Amino acid sequence: MCQFIILLFFTLFLPVLAYIPVYPTNSTGATTADASTIILQWYSNGSYVQNISFQIAGQGSTGINKGALVHFSEEGVNNATAPTSTPWIALISCDNNSTNASLDTDIFELAHEKGAVSALLYSLYSKACVINPGYSDRLFDIFSSPDPASSHLIEYQFSQTGQHVLSSYDSAQLNASANVITESINAGYPVSSGYLLAALTARNATATSTTSATTQPSMKSGCNPCSTPFPLMVLYVAIASVLVLL
């Protein structure tokens, strides 16, 4: 009986979520970068690294998320849009609610339904994105770009890999790229052009997870021509060594 009442309670009160449960703000310090990072890589062996802000941890997440980074908004996707099993990360602008936003499904739920493994919020007009305080779903790890400069830089990387880059969510195109994206994730660098390979790592990611253990050496070797990641790797190793000594 008690369980029935609890069930009834949830059935009645859960579907109150709105479209994008996030708002833009200009107040300083609303979202600050922490030790979480985004590593963007494009063919051939180009990369960009940036500290981002960890907002919400997904249930049972390791804190390490990899896939193709694509823009995602309710402007072009609704619940009838096909999903994909190719790993992808939703790049979501918090600037505007779509005019045809559904009031039943919020943007994170929609992205999760389509197969997103994680989400990154950004604003091109305001200082930062703030998730509504009442939002408590833990579908996947949600990160936020800490400032407009970082948002513009992340946006800029879509121009790095030529004209035919996979820029917005497209189930058919993601399906067609399933093999190369999976191969790239395993190799630690993009094996072909046409997409941005992203790795979003939470500040408290479990360092012992097999994903990070197998990826870090290949990240290092996969980045010979680029400048930022290798010193960062040295820094990680140095920090890890100090921690081991303590």
Ligand X SMILES: *[C@@H]1O[C@H](CO)[C@@H](O)[C@H](O)[C@H]1NC(C)=O
Which residues in this chain contact ligand X in the complex, by CB under 6 A?
Answer: 18-21, 23-26, 33-35, 37, 44-45, 51, 57, 62-63, 75-80, 82-85, 94-97, 99-100, 104, 125-126, 132, 171-172, 175, 189, 202, 204-206, 221-222, 224
Min separation Cβ 221 and ligand X, Å = 4
Q: What angle do CA 136, 150, 43 make, to 5 degrees?
A: 105
Closer of 3 and 173 to ligand X (Cβ): 173
Distance CA 43, CA 189 (A): 8
Query: What are the residues whose beta carbons fall under 8 Å from the beta carbon of 198, sequence distance 6 or more?
Result: 38, 39, 40, 41, 65, 66, 67, 68, 69, 89, 120
Q: Which residue has the tokens 């979480």?
A: 36
CA 87-93-94 angle, to 5 degrees, is 125
Q: Tell me which residue of 132, 116, 11, 128 sits closest to 58, measured CA to CA.
A: 116
Q: Smallest distance from the beta carbon of 163 to ligand X, in angstroms?
A: 19
- Tell me how far, at minimum, the Cβ of 125 lies from ligand X, in Å: 4
Nearest CB to ligand X, comparing residues 1 and 64: 64
Q: Which is nearer to ligand X, 21 or 194 (CB)?
A: 21
Name the residue nearer to ligand X (CB basis): 78 or 159: 78
Which of 146, 158 has the CB closer to ligand X? 146
CB of 210 to ligand X, least distance (A): 14
CB of 128 to ligand X, least distance (A): 9
3-class secondary-structure state, position 176: helix
Q: What distance in Å separates the CA atoms of residue 113 and residue 123, rounded to the nearest whole number?
A: 23
